[in-house]
Each structure stands twice: as C-alpha cells, then as structure tokens.
Amino acid sequence: MSDLSHSAAPAREATSIQVLTVRGDLVEKRADRLAGEEPLEIRAAGPGQEPVAVAVTMRTPGHEAELAVGFLRTEGLIAGDEVERVDFGDPATLAQPDDTAVVRLTRAFDASAIAERQFVATASCGICGKASLDEIEVRCEPLPAGSPQVDRSVIIGLPRALRDAQAVFELTGGLHAAGLFDPHGGLVVVREDVGRHNALDKLVGSQVLASALPLHERVLMVSGRVSFEIVQKAAVAGIPIVCAVSAPSDLAVEAAQRLGQTLVGFLRGDGFNVYANSERIRL
C-alpha cells in the first residue's frame, strides 16, 4: 500500500454542556458531556478521475480516514490494496475540510457499483435481504473452516475488555463500540461512534490501512445488537467470529450460517448464545 497521508482538524468526539438534572425531589444544573455527531461525505477517485460522491454518513468525529476507507471496503466498492491516500475538503472551494473525505486510489474507481448498491438498499425488505445475501456470498473470500479456536472463557471476557477500552463512552455514555481481539482475548483495536456500523467501518478501515486483511485470526466484539449489515461487513473483512451483548436479527443469523461465520449473542455475565457455527468455540 502507498504511504497514506491526510490532514484534518482535531476531532470533536465529545462536547460539554449544562443540563438540568432531576432525581426524585432534587433538581440541579450540572456539567455533562455529549457524544459528537457530524456529517461526513465520502468520495472516491482513481488516477485522473474527478471525485465521485459515494455516501453521506452521520458519524462521531475522529478516525475519518479509517471510516471512509472502511466503508468503501465493507461495501465491496474497493479491494483495499489500491488506497493511495485520503484527502479532506472540496478541492474547488476548500470549504468544511472535516466534512468531506476523498479516498484517492491507484486504480480507476468503478462508479457503476454505487448505483447497484443503492438499488439493493432501496428495494423492499425481503428483496433487499435476499439480494444482499447472494451478493456478499459472491464477493466474500471463504472464511477458514473451524479456525480460529477460542476458549469459552475468552468469549465471556470480551464485553468487559471492550467496555474498559471505550474512552469516549466513559465520558458520554452515548457511543457504540467495535473491538477486534486475537484468539486469546488480546485487544488489537477498538473504535467508537454514534453508529455501530460506523464503529465497525472505522475498525476495518484501520486494518485496511495497516494491510492486515483478511482478518482470519480475529474475533469481533460489538456493543448492542447484531444486524445483517454487521455480519456482512465483518465477513467482507474476513472476520470468522462475531460476538455481541444483545441479540442478532433473523437475517443476521441466516447470513452467518450461509457464510460459515460463528455468531454469538446475548453475551452477558457468564453465558451466551451461539446462533451459527459453534465449532470455533471450545465449550
């Protein structure tokens, strides 16, 4: 991968405000911290191409380059190894440099893939789900069968390890998180965002920029529930085990079963449910 360079203003991950707190008969003003939320327009361009607008996402400021690259990769719009650099701002006006990320590629960007993805996203729910399942099966590399092997005790320890690594959540209480772990429970990277999908895109983007994909020897732990999109994005990145503190959707389970991905939900206390492909967990 080429040397990645980018520049942007300091992240506004959290802001301070005054709130009126009511607790029983007690009413008082106090300082509080809120998670930041701002739009980011993601564009892509190959050599000699004008940047093409791909998506606008509402995100927590911070790790914009990772978010842009991770989104493009998990949506199947780039392979990942063609990222040259990430620029910020509109080259014509230089307005709002934090709000526009342009991913510069060493190969031509296929803009037709954007229309195909948007068509699936705007179809009726049932068609969307089936079309997306078939699509990701085609573009995902096979996950390693039965590997990695992870002890039950490691799985049980993931929620605490993820929570302990959430620095901005500690300040605000208002962010989702995605954590990447090795098979022994060692934390590789954690990312936070107001959107769980953004948190995962930031995480995957960090690994794309580190030339670490596919993530066949990694375990993903996410806060909240597991949607189809979480399973999809993890599978595209090559992650064979996905864990969450809450329940998966039915389509997420179907996708995990078809992709050969281990899916763990309701991971709380000393227990959890395995919804798909339990052979990677030493029970």
Instruction: Give the active site residues.
Output: 125
Tokens 């969450």: give the residue. Answer: 244
Q: At what angle do helices 64-74 and 228-236 cross, to 10 degrees?
A: 90
Strand partners for 42? 55, 101
d(CA 75, CA 63) in angstroms, rounded, equals 18
**Helix pair angle (228-236, 196-209), 10° resolution:** 0
DSSP 163: H
Please state, in angstroms and rounded to a whole number, the distance separating the CA atoms of residues 34 and 173: 8
Q: Buried (b) or exposed (e) across 116-150, using 16+ Cβ within 10 A?
A: ebeeeeeeeeeebbeebbeebeeebeebeeeebeb
CA–CA dist 106, 217 (Å, integer): 28
- Dihedral of the alpha carbons of 13, 18, 22, 25, in degrees to the nearest 10: 150
Helix or strand run (H / E) with residue 100: strand 100-105
Are the CB atoms for 61 and 11 separated by under 8 Å? yes
